[in-house]
Amino acid sequence: MALKCQPTASHFIDGEYIEDTDGKIIECIYPATGEKIAKLHSATPKIIEMALESAKHAQKSWAKLSGTERGRILRKASDIIRERNRELSVLETYDTGKPLQETLYVDATSAADALEYFGGLAGSITGEHIPLGEDWAYTKRIPIGLCVGIGAWNYPTQIACWKGAPALACGNSMVFKPSEMTPLCALKIAEILIEAGAPKGIYNVIQGYGDVGAKLVSDPRVDKVSLTGSAETGKKVYSSAALGMKNVTMELGGKSPLIIFDDADIENAVSGAMLANMYSTGQVCSNGTRVFVQSSIKEVFLKRFIERATKIIIGDPMDEETQFGPMVSEKQRDIVMSFIEKGKAEGATLAFGGNIIESSGWFIEPTVFSDVTDEMTIAKEEIFGPVMSVFDFENEDEVIARANDTDLGLAGGVFTNDIKRAHRVVDQLEAGTCFINSYNDAPVEVPFGGIKGSGVGRENSKAAIEHFSQLKTVYVRMGNVDSPY
Establish if 251 lies at the interface with ligand NDP (CB under 6 A).
Answer: yes
**Min dist. Cβ of residue 227 to ligand NDP (A):** 6
Q: Give, as ranges, the residues between 316 and 355 that touch ligand NDP (CB under 6 A).
A: none
**Min dist. Cβ of residue 444 to ligand NDP (A):** 13
Which among 343, 292, 32, 77 is positioned nearest to 197, based on CA atoms?
Answer: 77
For 467, other C-beta atoms within 10 Å of its C-beta total 23
Establish if 285 lies at the interface with ligand NDP (CB under 6 A).
Answer: yes
**Min dist. Cβ of residue 449 to ligand NDP (A):** 7
**Min dist. Cβ of residue 232 to ligand NDP (A):** 6
Q: Which among 145-153, 163-171, 262-270, 289-297 is the span making contact with ligand NDP, rule CB under 6 A?
A: 145-153
Q: Is 422 left (phi over 0), alpha (psi -120 to 50) or beta?
A: alpha
Rg of the Cα trace of the chain? 24
Candidates 236, 308, 342, 424: give the one binding ligand NDP (CB under 6 A): 236
Rounded-to-integer distance, Cα 380 and Cα 377, Å: 5
Of 65 and 335, nearer to ligand NDP (C-beta) is 335
Say if strands 173-177 and 247-251 run parallel, antiparallel, or are unpaired: unpaired
Contacts of residues 124-127 at CB distance under 8 Å and 24 or more positions apart, as own/partner, are 124/67, 125/67, 125/169, 125/170, 125/465, 125/469, 127/471, 127/472
Candidates 81, 112, 121, 237: give the one binding ligand NDP (CB under 6 A): 237
What single letter denotes the amino acid at residue 327? M
Of 157 and 179, nearer to ligand NDP (C-beta) is 179
Of 167 and 410, nearer to ligand NDP (C-beta) is 410
Rounded-to-integer distance, Cα 142 and Cα 127, Å: 9
Rounded-to-integer distance, Cα 12 and Cα 346, Å: 48
Establish if 153 lies at the interface with ligand NDP (CB under 6 A).
Answer: yes
Q: How many residues bind ligand NDP (CB under 6 A)?
A: 29
Establish if 252 lies at the interface with ligand NDP (CB under 6 A).
Answer: yes
396 is annotated as an active-site residue: no
285 is annotated as an active-site residue: yes
What single letter denotes the amino acid at residue 225? V
449-459 burial: b if 16+ Cβ within 10 Å, else e: bbebbbbbbbb
Rounded-to-integer distance, Cα 390 and Cα 298, Å: 9
Q: Is the torsion defined by CA of 76, 78, 82, 85 positive or negative?
A: positive
Residue closest to ligand NDP (Cβ): 213
Q: Give, as ranges, the residues between 90 and 129 that touch ligand NDP (CB under 6 A).
A: none
56 is annotated as an active-site residue: no
Establish if 410 lies at the interface with ligand NDP (CB under 6 A).
Answer: yes
For 238, other C-beta atoms within 10 Å of its C-beta total 18
Of 172 and 233, nearer to ligand NDP (C-beta) is 233
For 296, how many CA atoms within 13 A lie in the half-sphere containing its CB? 6
The catalytically annotated residue of 163, 188, 224, 255 is 163
Of 230 and 438, nearer to ligand NDP (C-beta) is 230
Candidates 173, 233, 281, 406: give the one binding ligand NDP (CB under 6 A): 233
459 is annotated as an active-site residue: yes
Q: Give, as ranges, the residues between 367 and 406 that touch ligand NDP (CB under 6 A).
A: 382, 384
How many angstroms separate the Cα of 115 from the Cα of each of 297, 398, 459?
43, 43, 13
Q: Give, as ranges, the residues between 172 and 231 that touch ligand NDP (CB under 6 A).
A: 177, 179-180, 209-210, 213-214, 217, 228-230
Say if strands 35-41 and 451-452 run parallel, antiparallel, or are unpaired: unpaired
User: What is the set of active-site residues?
Assistant: 163, 251, 285, 459
The contact set with ligand NDP (CB under 6 A) reads 150-154, 177, 179-180, 209-210, 213-214, 217, 228-230, 233, 236-237, 251-254, 285, 382, 384, 410, 450, 455
